[in-house]
Amino acid sequence: MSEEATRKLTLDLAGKTAVVTGSTQGIGLAIARRLAEAGADVVVNGRDPERVARTVDSLAGLAVRGAAADVTSAEGAQALVDAAGTVDVLVNNLGIFGSTPALEIDDDEWRRFFDVNVLSAARLTRLVLPGMTDRGWGRVLNIASDSAIVIPEEMIHYGASKSALLAMSRGFAKAAAGSGVTVNSVIAGPTHTEGVEDFVYEMVDRLLDWEAAQREFMRTARPQSLIGRLIEPEEIANMVVYLSSPLASATTGGALRVDGGYVDSILP
């Protein structure tokens, strides 16, 4: 058998520095772990220095370091980039969500969701993209949501912010055209995290055990899902690692779905 036939596909990020915002728990933590397992030097980020330190300790044995910074401010974003050094992979994972009746979402809440979910990602991308394009290689990943496409009645401010994130990803991909840098968004479906557990119990009977509550939530609130369960954070992380790797060199400006078939559409 020829060498070409026996060559294996490998997700090798050795020598690359990856920054993952909001990575002390949930999807962000899973992404940080998977990137480090693929060989990257990973910078874990969150606002609380103690929590960041505990997260780094929990990933002992992997090339992980911490940088506590609030990237919803210009100062915090710059501090994170300065601490990371040369950034080869940026994963804008930081995000907030919550349910509020549409007519009760005031201007301050709208601004807060866009500040955290959109502007923090735009700010960091502006800081790292010039260096990536100068070096001729880089990856920017924005973690979006199925709510960007199927706007939930109970949290339209969240859905709208994630729609904006998809548009922003496409725009920055055009800004990086022809440079060897790719910019993509990952559309995460209903995912099993601590925060989502709380959200599920807001929507179903709190007296149910977790397995029963999850089934009831998927049946009543997310019946479009084709897998009929919440997605595990590692399943989102697997897509992120692929898109961060050299193997994904022809994928840019895209919105890649890891949604369990929730969005009833062929594209994106």
Q: Domain check: are 111 and 207 in the same one?
A: no
Residue 242 structural domain: 8-189+232-257
β-bridge mates for residue 90, sequence order: 19, 140
Element (H, E) at 124: helix 120-135
Q: Is 246 domain-assigned?
A: yes
Long-range Cβ pairs for the range 102-108 (8 Å, 24+)? 102/153, 102/156, 105/156, 105/157
Is 158 catalytic? The answer is yes
Q: Domain check: are 131 and 197 in the same one?
A: no
pLDDT single digits (tens) 200-248: 998 999 999 999 999 999 999 889 999 998 999 999 999 999 999 999 9
pLDDT single digits (tens) 75-121: 999 999 999 999 999 999 999 998 899 999 999 999 999 999 999 99
Distances (CA, A) of 229 to 32, 43, 89, 216, 221: 23, 31, 30, 10, 12
Q: Domain check: are 212 and 84 in the same one?
A: no
pLDDT on residue 4: 53
- Written as six digits, the tokens of 28 are 């962000």
Q: What is the dihedral of CA 188, 127, 80, 65, to 10 degrees?
A: 70
Q: Domain check: are 38 and 75 in the same one?
A: yes
Q: What is the CATH number of the domain that holds 253?
A: 3.40.50.720
For residue 249, give every residue at least 6 positions away whose Cβ sits within 8 Å of its Cβ, in sequence order, or none: 180, 182
Q: Domain check: are 226 and 126 in the same one?
A: no
Q: Domain check: are 35 and 135 in the same one?
A: yes
Q: Domain check: are 148 and 45 in the same one?
A: yes
Q: Is 2 domain-assigned?
A: no
Q: Domain check: are 134 and 77 in the same one?
A: yes
- On the question of pLDDT at 2 being above 50, the answer is no
Kindly report whether the global pTM for this prediction surpasses the value 0.85.
Answer: yes
